[in-house]
Structure 1
C-alpha cells in the first residue's frame, strides 16, 4: 500500500481525513460499530432459514451458506486474532476448508464443513476474542500497518459485509417461499424533470485515494487522470428501457454483441435478464421468493457485462470507462477536489443512497436527490452495481496489501470493473473509490449499468 497512514491533513487526492481517522478512540468506536453491524446482518441471513437450507448448495455458482458463515469466522481469526493479536490459533485444522482459493464453490458441499451450530459457536468465539483485541489495540499513526487507523478491523468488517452480499445472492437463487422481507425504497420526487443525461466536461481529476484509512489496496494510490468530455445517463438504465431493446430483437441480433457474448446467448438460449420470464404477455420476475411484474421505472438488474454492452451498442452509446464513472461520481468542478462520495465527504445516510439491505430491490430511477453528484448524475452509490467498459487493472504505483489474493491475482482482461455498489452493499464496503470486479458472464450478482457517449 503506497500510503496506509491516517493523515492529519488532506492528502494528494484532496480528501479530508475520514471521520475520526487520526483519533484512536473514534476509530475504535467506528471499527466496533462496523463489526457489530456486519455480524447482525450475518445473523439475519443465516437465522432466517432452517439448517437444511444452510448446508444445501442452492446453485453451483455459490457456496452453501454455512461455508460462508464459518469462512467469515476463519478470516477474522487469521487476521485479528493471529496477525494483530498474536494469539494462538483456535482451529488451525480448518484453515484449508475455508480457503477460497483451495476449493471451488461447486466442490464445497462435499467438504467436512462445520455444522451450523458449530459454525455459529466458532464465529462467536472468534468475535469475542477479536473485540478484546480491538479494545486494547494501538490504532495510532505510528503503529504497525495492520493496526494503523484500525485498518485490519475495517478490512474484516468489509470482508464480512462482502460475504453478506454473497449470501444475499444465494437467498435470491434459492427456491421456495421468501425468507427475507424489507420495505420498498422511497419514491423519486422529481424524476420527471431530470434530464436523460448529464455532460461531464473535459479535464483532469484525482482518481483513487491515498487518504481513506480503510481503502483497500486496489483503490490506491491517488493519481491524476485526464478525461475527455462525455455525456452520461443521469440514472441507471431502467427495466422499461431494457425491454425496448428486447422487443427490438436485442437477443436475436448478433450485431450488438461481443463474440463471446453472442456465444453465451446461443449456448444458454438467453432472452431476458436472469430471473425474468414471460407469462400471458407480461414480463415477470422472481425476487427473493416472490414473483411480481417487472417494474418499468426501476433499474434493470441481473444482467451480465455482455448484456449491458449489447444494450449500449443497440442504443448507439457505450458503457462508461471506470475513469469516466469515477469522475462523474466524485469530481467537484467548483473546488477541483475529488469527494469521498457523490454528495460530499460525509458518510451515507438513508437520504443519500439505497444501501445496507434496507430494501431488497433498487429504488426507482431518479430517487435519492440528496445523493446526486456535482455532475448531476444520481444513484451512483447503491441500488445496482454498474458495469464499466474497463478491465480490472492496478493503478500506477499499486502495492498489494496485506495479501496478493485480494486484488493482484485478479488483474487482467478476464475481469470487468463494476462501480457504485448496490442495495445489497453496506456503506463500510462502498465509497466513491471502491472497485468491484467480476467475470463478464456473471448475471446472479446485483448488477445493472448506465451508458455514455462522447461529447
Structure 2
C-alpha cells in the first residue's frame, strides 16, 4: 500500500470504529451510561472516555508530540490502577464531558494523520500505532456490547437475525501431521503476542467441523453434567460449586435464555455461548474429547495443505466479508452452524472466525522470540497459567480485531464474554 492508501485506510477505520462506539453509548440514557450493570464490567461512560484517553496518549502525545488534551485524567482511565468494580466511585467524566473529550482528541488525531511521517520508527511503520488504537477501541466496543448483555431493562440495540444454515457442518475434520507456520511477522497491524512467525510441528488430530451447539450442550446439562465431578477438573469442580453453575450464563433452565433484553427460546443449532473455560473443559471430557491446543486451533484455521502455507484466514488472505463470517455486531447472536460455507477452511472446518470465541486448552504465553511492543502491559504481564487462550472472535468482534493469528485471553472463570468451544481429539493410529 502507498502512504496515501495507508492514511486513507486509517481515517476510514477510525471513523467506522467511532460510529460503533457512539451507537453503543447513544443507545442508552445518561443514567445507564454511568451505572455499573455488573461488578465484572465498567460503566459504559468509563469505556468511552478510556478509548479517548488511550488515543490521546499514543497518537496525540507520543506519535504527534503534541500538548496533552487532558493530562489530569490519565490516572482515572488507567486500567491497571483501578479494578472494574471500583471505577464507579472515581470522579469520572460525565457523559457530556466524555463525548466532548473523545471528539476533541479525534480532531487532533485526524489533523496529525495528514502530517505525521509513517516511517522512521516501528511505532508508526505502516500506520501501526493508528491500527493499534483502532483495535483497542473495537475491543472495548465488544466489552461494551457484553455490558449491554448484562444490562437489565428493555432491549435498546437493533437485532437483525443471522443467516440460516446452508451447509452441513457436522462431524470431525482430520488435520494431518506435520509442520505449519504459526503466528505472523508480516501482518502490519498484528499485536506483539501474535509475533513472530514460527514453525510448529503437530501430530495428526481430529477437530470438530463446527462449534458445539446449544442442543449438544443441552445434552450435557440433561445428562447431569453439572452434578458429576467426573467431568470436571478439581479447580473446575470447586468453582462450579462455589459459583452455583447449572448451565451457561443467561440460560433460565426452561428452554429459554435472555439476549440483550429479549427472553427467547434457545435456538438448538446455534453455537453455545457464555460458558467459562471450566465448563468447556468439562463438556469436552463428558463428550470423550478435549479442548484443542492453541496450535491445533490455528493450524485448522490457517494451514493450506495444497500450498503448504498458512493463510491469513480460513478462506484465504482476503479481508472478511459478510459471506465469510459473523462479525462486527451485525447480528446479536451466533449464527446456526453451517451458515457460512464460504468461510470454511481447506479441511472443511466451519465458523472458526466469528460467532463465538473458542476456548483452547493453552495457557497464554509468548511465542519463541517474543518481544514486548510497544509496552509490556499489552501482553507480557498476562502471560502464565492464570489466563487461558481464546481464538477466532465472536459475533461482537470487529474484523479489525480478528484474524487467523489474533489471540484473546481471559481467566478460566470468565463467561460474560461471548465464549464457546469446539472439541478435538488425538488421531487414532488407524486414521493417522
Q: TM-score when scaled to structure 1?
A: 0.93
| Residue correspondence of structure 1 range 100-179 to structure 2 within 5 A | 100-140=79-119, 143-179=120-156
For 1:135 and 1:422, how far apart are their aligned partners in 2? 33
Question: Which secondary structure state, in structure 2, belongs to the residue aligned with residue 71 of structure 1?
Answer: helix
For 1:416 and 1:186, how far apart are their aligned partners in 2? 31
For 2:305 and 2:20, how far apart are their aligned partners in 1? 38
Displacement after TM superposition at 1:394 (Å):
0.3
For 1:363 and 1:135, how far apart are their aligned partners in 2? 40
Displacement after TM superposition at 1:270 (Å):
1.1
Q: What is the aligned length?
A: 427
Q: Does the Cα contact within 8 Å between 1:301 and 1:447 map onto a contact in 2? A: yes
Question: Which secondary structure state, in structure 2, belongs to the residue aligned with residue 307 of structure 1?
Answer: helix
Displacement after TM superposition at 1:190 (Å):
1.9
For 1:119 and 1:167, how far apart are their aligned partners in 2? 15
Q: Does the Cα contact within 8 Å between 1:299 and 1:448 map onto a contact in 2? A: yes
Q: Residue 381 of structure 1 corresponds to which residue in structure 2?
A: 353
* Pairing partner for 2:73 from 75, 91, 94: 94
1:255 aligns with 2:247: no
Q: Residue 181 of structure 1 corresponds to which residue in structure 2?
A: 158
Q: Residue 219 of structure 1 corresponds to which residue in structure 2?
A: 194
| Residue correspondence of structure 1 range 297-308 to structure 2 within 5 A | 297-308=269-280
1:201 aligns with 2:176: yes
For 2:365 and 2:123, how far apart are their aligned partners in 1? 24
- Cα deviation digits, residues 17-40 of structure 1 (max 9, x gap): xxx3xx211111111111111100
For 1:336 and 1:134, how far apart are their aligned partners in 2? 39
Q: Residue 430 of structure 2 corresponds to which residue in structure 1?
A: none
Q: Residue 80 of structure 1 corresponds to which residue in structure 2?
A: 59
Displacement after TM superposition at 1:174 (Å):
0.5
For 1:232 and 1:213, how far apart are their aligned partners in 2? 30
For 2:167 and 2:124, how far apart are their aligned partners in 1? 45
Q: Does the Cα contact within 8 Å between 2:37 and 2:43 map onto a contact in 1? A: yes
1:321 aligns with 2:298: no
For 2:410 and 2:152, how far apart are their aligned partners in 1? 24
Q: Residue 270 of structure 1 corresponds to which residue in structure 2?
A: 245
Question: Which secondary structure state, in structure 1, belongs to the residue aligned with residue 118 of structure 2?
Answer: coil
| Residue correspondence of structure 1 range 407-422 to structure 2 within 5 A | 407-422=379-394
* Alignment gaps of 5+ in structure 1: 1-19
1:436 aligns with 2:411: no
For 2:114 and 2:165, how far apart are their aligned partners in 1? 43
For 1:28 and 1:203, how far apart are their aligned partners in 2? 40
- Cα deviation digits, residues 97-130 of structure 1 (max 9, x gap): 0000000000000000000000000000000100
Q: Residue 3 of structure 1 corresponds to which residue in structure 2?
A: none
For 1:298 and 1:32, how far apart are their aligned partners in 2? 35
| Residue correspondence of structure 1 range 333-348 to structure 2 within 5 A | 333-348=305-320
For 1:340 and 1:29, how far apart are their aligned partners in 2? 22
Question: Which secondary structure state, in structure 2, belongs to the residue aligned with residue 198 of structure 1?
Answer: strand
For 1:353 and 1:436, how far apart are their aligned partners in 2? 18
Question: Which secondary structure state, in structure 1, belongs to the residue aligned with residue 225 of structure 2?
Answer: coil
- Cα deviation digits, residues 184-221 of structure 1 (max 9, x gap): 11112122xx4411000000000000000000000000
Kindly report structure 1 stretches of 4+ aligned residues shifted beyond 4 Å: none
Q: Does the Cα contact within 8 Å between 2:358 and 2:422 map onto a contact in 1? A: yes
| Residue correspondence of structure 1 range 329-408 to structure 2 within 5 A | 329-408=301-380
Q: Does the Cα contact within 8 Å between 1:284 and 1:291 map onto a contact in 2? A: yes
Question: Which secondary structure state, in structure 2, belongs to the residue aligned with residue 416 of structure 1?
Answer: strand
For 1:283 and 1:45, how far apart are their aligned partners in 2? 29
For 1:190 and 1:368, how far apart are their aligned partners in 2? 8
For 1:274 and 1:325, how far apart are their aligned partners in 2? 24
Displacement after TM superposition at 1:182 (Å):
2.2
Name the Cα RMSD after superposition.
Answer: 0.7
* Pairing partner for 2:219 from 221, 234, 244: 244
For 2:416 and 2:335, how far apart are their aligned partners in 1? 19
Q: Does the Cα contact within 8 Å between 1:24 and 1:138 map onto a contact in 2? A: no
Q: Residue 46 of structure 1 corresponds to which residue in structure 2?
A: 25
Q: TM-score when scaled to structure 2?
A: 0.98
